[in-house]
Amino acid sequence: MDEFALIRQYFSDIGHVAGVEVGIGDDAAVVSMPPSTELAVATDTLVADVHFPASGAAGDVAFRALAVNVSDMAAMAAKPRWFTLALTLPAADPEWLQAFATGLGVAAQRCNVQLIGGDTTRGPLTITLQLLGELPAGQRLLRSGARADDDLFVTGCLGEAAGGLALLKASAVTTDAAKALLQRFWEPPIRTELAVQLAGQLRAAIDVSDGLLSDLGHLCAASEVGARIDLNALPLSPELLACHGQLRAVELALTGGDDYELLLAADPRHRATIEAAGCTRVGRLTAASGIHLHRDGEPAATPAMTGYRHFHGD
Ligand code: ADP
Ligand code: MG
């Protein structure tokens, strides 16, 4: 199958969104933007065996590739609309391509985005997506808008994806709880609607891709504040606790990465609204720099100080 037939067969009909004037097939796509909107642009590359296990099912790989890019849009409170796909494949395996295209179609529908172009090349499996999103002019949500004494919230639960990957690496995905954790790696949460809905109440946001402490560090640096995190408040799922135990679960939540939940900062007067939307308050920002962990009101050591702990309860 030549490149053009491949594109036509698998990628010509992924998602449907308004505003596409010229889609796949010409030299460039053309989209029209509603008046008074700004364009948000983000790109992310997933390299096999670096960002995901190459053994992953093609449909799961596709879903994850789109979801991690959509997560960047959510963190800006932008509505994702269109995307391009630069796909590097070792071979044109029809079975793999069909499963990949099906997974991508499911994800595109879930995220309400349309594939409008891309590039197809031969080489080690690498997937690069670029997302284009729409922002009402002036409503972008940055990392830099937070202030001292703002509340800090996270969406969903933390540590699950990293907890699932750790079990996969240890060949320990045997229980339903372990399978659920691993599925959280392949199916990152879609938080765009929540972010757009709450945008008016938020001062800053970042998506948690590298672990809470790391991404909180980015938000604090950009906003020139410090933070205090209450370890007892971290949202940990029953599955994570069952597979890894409390201590390791907290460590995974703080440093694990791959969650793609949102970390949000807001004036405390919006606390009730943000909690009612399902977010968990995990701490607050401070005028003093540095990130400080607390448990039961007492300072607690950071995971770097406690060191690695072996799997617990598996
Ligand atoms: P060009 O040589 O002008 O870059 P290509 O041959 O690379 O054109 O691509 C032809 C058309 O197919 C273009 O519209 C391009 O955006 C689209 N395309 C190529 N690869 C993909 C892909 N993996 N997914 C979606 N569209 C693609
Ligand atoms: Mg090209």
Q: What is the pLDDT of residues 209-235, one digit of tens each?
A: 999 999 999 999 999 999 999 999 999
Residue 310's pLDDT is what? Answer: 36
Q: Output phi, psi for 81, to 5 deg.
A: -125, -50
Task: Please tell me the residue having the least CA distance from ligand 1 atom 24.
Answer: 118
305: pLDDT strictly greater than 70: no
Q: Please name the residues in contact with 92: beta carbons below 8 A apart, sequence gap of 6 or more.
A: 1, 6
Q: Does residue 14 line the site of ligand 1, with CB under 6 A?
A: no
pLDDT for position 142 = 97
The tokens describing 228, both together, are 């205090």
Token pair recorded at residue 223: 């906003």
Q: Which of 207, 198, 204 is nearest to 227 (CA)?
A: 204
Q: Which ligand is nearest to the CA of 120?
A: 1
pTM: predicted TM-score of the whole model, two decimal places = 0.93
Q: Is the pLDDT of residue 296 over 90?
A: no
Cα 4 to ligand 2 centre (Å): 10
pLDDT tens by residue, 61-112: 999 999 999 999 999 999 999 999 999 999 999 999 999 999 999 999 999 9
Read off the pLDDT of residues 19-51 as tens digits, 9 standing for 90 and up: 999 999 999 999 999 999 999 999 999 999 999
Q: Confidence band (pLDDT; 50, 70, 90) for 301? A: confident
Residue 191: closest CA among 179, 180, 202, 182: 202
CA distance 135 to 253: 30
- Backbone angle region of 49, left / alpha / beta, with phi > 0 → left and psi within -120 to 50 → alpha: left
Angle at 208 between CA 204 and CA 211, to 5 degrees: 130
